[in-house]
Structure 1
Amino acid sequence: MPSAIVAYVRRIDAMNRFIGRIAMYLIFALIGVLLWSSVAKTFFSPKLWTLETAQFVMVAYYVLGGPYSIQLGSNVRMDLFYGEWSPRRKAMVDAVTIFFLLFYLGVLFYGAVSSTAYSLGYFGTEPFSFFGNLAWAFVTGGPDAAGELMGYLETSPSAWRPYIWPVKVILCFGVLLMLLQCTAEFFRDIARIRGEEI
């Protein structure tokens, strides 16, 4: 395999391993929020923020840990025939079926970017140009200029009403990491078909 591809695979693996190892500790934050929710409901007045905070932490845990899960091969698979195949045959099938996953993740990424733009007050049909204009306004004019491009910030319809954009940004970042990891897995499968290991 070309050295650029090997370097790409190793860098993506290292980045997703680092982020995934940090993200797995979010389960303790989730436990803490849910524990506080139970204690508050039993001994004090129920808190409005606990349920949605638990949902937001779970989204971050799941989305940021997904690429690391793919890297480890611990994702769920339909293993009717796959488990008995040779590593080379698995790599051949994976090299083809990964395009379906990449297509799905591409659609999911576009939807996440569109939803994030909507949560920042953009109601048009070009979310990528909105973020380009937003970044340009921030670089040239600072936070005030960027703030002028944003409209009404979306909030949750609950009584607590937190802003939604932070969790949507995490979703965009997590899906992008998943796309990068799947591309690295594709290159790894091509190497296995050729009899090499990355």
Structure 2
Amino acid sequence: MPRIITLYVRWVDAFNRVVGRIVMFMIFVMIGVLLYASVSRTAFNAPLIWSIEVSQFMLAAYYLLGGAYAMQMGAHVRMDLFYSRWSDRTRAWVDALTILLLIVFLGALLTGGISSTEYALRYGEKSYTSWAPRLAPIKIVMTFGVFLMLLQSVSTLFKDIARARGVSLDRANASVERGTGE
């Protein structure tokens, strides 16, 4: 594979790995928010109007920012009817085809996310709850998460094409790091 592709795969994978490992600790912040809300409601009879919505926003950020890392780690669910019976090259070509469909979907999702974020920023869009927070910050985070997933999908496409051709980009990445890349 050309050096630019191996560098792309290396940098996107590294960036998404860092983001994913940082975001995975967000679960503890969500637990803290919900625990605080529960104690406030039961012990002090002071329910919080913002806790559930903050938790929902954090959960959306958690799975959208962590989606690219989950893809990289192979943690998404795959339905296997025929897949395990195919050769590695056939699996690689099928994976490349399906990742192309995902790239088209994520491209449409990113376009909608950018449009929705622009609207939220321009008009100061707020949630229709009693707390009524501005929606632009979470929409920015969500759109960024979709963008990271799109970058990771392209990286995965390159890996699948390389695997179908009998080349491992993991070995190529190691040679690029040593300075002996293609």
> C-alpha separation between the residues in 2 aligned to 1:84 and 1:72?
22
For 1:120, what is the secondary structure of its paired residue? Answer: helix
Amino acid in the other structure paired with 2:78: R
> C-alpha separation between the residues in 1 aligned to 2:96 and 2:128?
43
- Determine the structure 2 residue equivalent to 1:130: none
- Determine the structure 1 residue equivalent to 2:5: 5
CA positional deviation for 1:86: 2.8
> C-alpha separation between the residues in 1 aligned to 2:121 and 2:78?
36
- Determine the structure 1 residue equivalent to 2:151: 180
Matches within 5 A, 1:1-198: 1-44=1-44, 45-121=46-122, 152-198=123-169
The normalised TM-score by structure 1 is: 0.82
Ranges in structure 2 where 5+ consecutive residues have no aligned partner: 170-182
Amino acid in the other structure paired with 2:162: A
Deviations 1:145-166 (A, max 9, x none): xxxxxxx311111111111000
For 2:140, what is the secondary structure of its paired residue? Answer: helix
> C-alpha separation between the residues in 2 aligned to 1:11 and 1:48?
41
- Determine the structure 2 residue equivalent to 1:124: none
> C-alpha separation between the residues in 1 aligned to 2:120 and 2:161?
39
Q: What's the RMSD between the two structures over aligned residues?
A: 1.0
Amino acid in the other structure paired with 1:170: V
> C-alpha separation between the residues in 1 aligned to 2:94 and 2:111?
26
Amino acid in the other structure paired with 1:6: T
Amino acid in the other structure paired with 2:63: Y
CA positional deviation for 1:20: 0.4
List structure 1 runs of 4+ shifted beyond 4 angstroms: none
May I ask how many residue pairs the two structures share in their alignment?
168
CA positional deviation for 1:78: 1.4
For 2:80, what is the secondary structure of its paired residue? Answer: coil
> C-alpha separation between the residues in 1 aligned to 2:41 and 2:80?
43
CA positional deviation for 1:84: 3.2
